[in-house]
Amino acid sequence: MSPARGNKYMTASPATRVLGVVAVAAALLMALLGLIVSPADVVQGQAVRMLYLHVPSIWIAYGAFVLTAVSSALFLIRSRRREDSGRHHDRLAGAAAEVGVVFAGITLVTGMLWGRVTWGTYWQWDARLTTTVLLFVTYLGYLALRRLPADPMIRGRRSAVMALISIINVPIVHFSVDWWRTLHQKASLSVGRRPEITGEMYWTLLYSTLAVTIVASWLIVHRYRVIRLEELRDEEALNALIASRLREDE
């Protein structure tokens, strides 16, 4: 990789470093509030503390997948106007999807632990749980598609189309507790609806959502940088191979 092209992405920018420090501090305060300051719930007991990670994680997954869809749409629009255009949006889509899958996985794990305490079992084929698993698997498929060997632009267009199809699952997951009779409780935080929790637990949950958002933003920035470095590595390897073949032909 040539220094001129790679130096920009080899090290984090000052702004990214600040974001990282803020993310770590926010996560530590979130742990303090969630594990010590916030009280146990009257009904759920200590199990309510898992909601401070469970609920923000699914919201981050939603947001990351929406960002993937929007970036994919912009990539398709720009790549139609000019070949090899819009690669920035394709990288952003990939980075956001990776982070979204991580937080969707965290949602499933914490949900299973919460279910073991409150329902007595790790898993039920509940509408919310089932649709969340489908969402998780769908975006795993999206990431697998991005790894298939192909021309970068062709692979980007295929991935973008799949991202636009996959985003349909997000509202299905979110509204599953309203559309079907489920064991899962109604959304703890929802626009236009009275929150299911109040007091210190409510404010701790709001802060946890903010903290996890900061952490996710930091992860997306770094994943974008790694994706770009991988592209530069592949380009350098291809150029070296072409140069080697040319020398052999001389």
Would you kindly state where each structural domain of the chain is located, as residue ranges? 3-34+49-177+209-243
Q: What is the pTM of this model?
A: 0.83
Which residue has better confidence, 59 or 198? 59
DSSP SS3 for 193: coil
Structural Rg of the chain based on CA atoms: 21
- Within the chain, residue ranges assigned H as helices are 3-10, 14-32, 51-81, 87-118, 127-147, 152-166, 169-179, 199-249
* Residues 188-224 pLDDT 10s: 555 545 556 667 888 899 999 999 999 999 999 999 9
Rounded Cα distance between 82 and 122, Å, is 50
Q: What is the mean pLDDT of residues 58-82?
A: 91
* For residue 4, pLDDT beyond 90: no
pLDDT of amino acid 246: 61
* For residue 26, pLDDT beyond 70: yes
Strands (E), 106-220: none
For the chain, give the number of residues: 250
The residues facing 45 across adjacent strands are: 41
Please name the residue that has the structure tokens 């990670």.
53
- 206: exposed, middle or buried (Cβ count in 10 Å: 0-12, 13-18, 19+): middle
Rounded Cα distance between 193 and 184, Å, is 17
User: What does the block give as tokens for 194?
Assistant: 């009275």
- Within 11-86, residue ranges assigned H as helices are 14-32, 51-81
The phi, psi pair for 45, rounded to 5°, reads 65, -140
pLDDT of amino acid 207: 94
Q: pLDDT class for 8, splitting at 50, 70, 90? A: low
Q: Which amino acid is at 190?
A: S
* For residue 185, pLDDT beyond 70: no
Q: Quote the mean pLDDT of the chain.
A: 83
Q: What is the mean pLDDT of residues 153-179?
A: 89
* Residues 104-148 pLDDT 10s: 999 999 988 888 887 777 777 888 888 999 999 999 999 999 998
pLDDT of amino acid 189: 54
Which percentage of the chain shows pLDDT scores above 70? 78
Rounded Cα distance between 159 and 155, Å, is 6
pLDDT of amino acid 238: 53
Q: Which amino acid is at 233?
A: R
- 245: exposed, middle or buried (Cβ count in 10 Å: 0-12, 13-18, 19+): exposed
* For residue 178, pLDDT beyond 80: no
pLDDT of amino acid 93: 95
User: What does the block give as tokens for 92?
Assistant: 């952003």
